[in-house]
Chain A
Amino acid sequence: GIQVEQSPPDLILQEGANSTLRCNFSDSVNNLQWFHQNPWGQLINLFYIPSGTKQNGRLSATTVATERYSLLYISSSQTTDSGVYFCAPRTGANNLFFGTGTRLTVIP
C-alpha cells in the first residue's frame, strides 16, 4: 500500500499561533482526506482534497498531487484544535491509507 509520512509528529502551540502540517505520500493518489481525531477518538473529516486548495474558516489545505504532498494550515489556533491530525490518501484501491498523524496541543 501507499506510504504516508506526516510531520511534525508532535506540535505544541500557544493559542492564537499559526501552524502548517505536512503529509508526504509515496504514490499517485485520486483521493485525499484530512481528519481531526478528537480526544474521544472520533475522526472528523476536515477536507476532501485530492488536488488544489480549499479553505474552511481558520483551516485550509493544499494538495500538490504531482509532487506527492499535502499541507494543512491552521491559523489563529484555539484549544479546541488540540488532537491528532491525520492525512489519508487513496490510490486506485478502495481504502484510505493513514499516516501516524500529527499530535497538536494548543495551550492557553
Chain B
Amino acid sequence: DTGVSQDPRHKITKRGQNVTFRCDPISEHNRLYWYRQTLGQGPEFLTYFQNEAQLEKSRLLSDRFSAERPKGSFSTLEIQRTEQGDSAMYLCASSSPPGSGANVLTFGAGSRLTVL
C-alpha cells in the first residue's frame, strides 16, 4: 500500500489552457474525493465517487471542471479554460466502504496549480 498518489505535484499553466490531474487511491478504497485548497483556507469539497459513480458535486465545481473515475480505480480532474482564480492546491482523498471499519479519509500530497 503506497497511499494516495497524485500527479503532477506541480503544474504551471497559462490562462485559458486546459489541465488534468490524476489521482490513484489506496487500492482497497472504493470511495474517492476531490478537494480544493486556496492559500490560508481549509480544503473545500469538490466532488465524490463511490466506485465509478459520481455521487455528489459541489457548487464550486463549475462547468469548466469535470471529474471522472471510469473503472472505479484512478480518477482524473480536468479544468478547461483555466482562470487565475483556479490557482490552488487540488487534493485527492480515498476511504474504505462504510461498515468496513472507521471511515477515515486518507489524503494524497496534492497537485499545486498556478495559472499565470
Could you list which residues of chain A lie within 8 angstroms of chain B, going by C-beta atoms?
1, 4, 31, 33, 35, 40-45, 48, 86, 88, 93-101
Contact = CB atoms under 8 A, between A and B. Distances in A.
Contact of B89 (A4, A41, A44, A48): A41
Contact of A93 (B56, B89, B110): B56
Contacts of A88: 42-43, 105
Contact of B43 (A42, A45, A48, A98): A98
B110 A41 contact: yes
Interface centre among B43, B93, B106 (most CB of A within 10 A): B43
B42 A94 contact: no
B115 interface: no
Interface centre among A88, A95, A98 (most CB of B within 10 A): A95
B104 A95 contact: no
Interface in B38-69: 40-45, 48, 55-56, 58
Contacts of A48: 102-104
A88 B45 CA distance: 11
Nearest to B45: A95
Contact of A43 (B31, B43, B102): B43
Given A98-B43, A100-B40, A45 B105 contact: yes
A95 B33 contact: yes
A101 B103 CA distance: 22
Contacts of B33: 94-95
7 contacts: A1-B45, A4-B42, A41-B37, A86-B42, A88-B43, A94-B48, A100-B42
A9 B52 CA distance: 38
Nearest to B98: A94
Q: Which 10 A-B pairs have the closest CB atoms?
A: A98-B42, A95-B45, A43-B107, A48-B104, A48-B102, A98-B43, A42-B109, A41-B110, A94-B48, A100-B42
B18 to A, nearest CB: 23
B22 interface: no
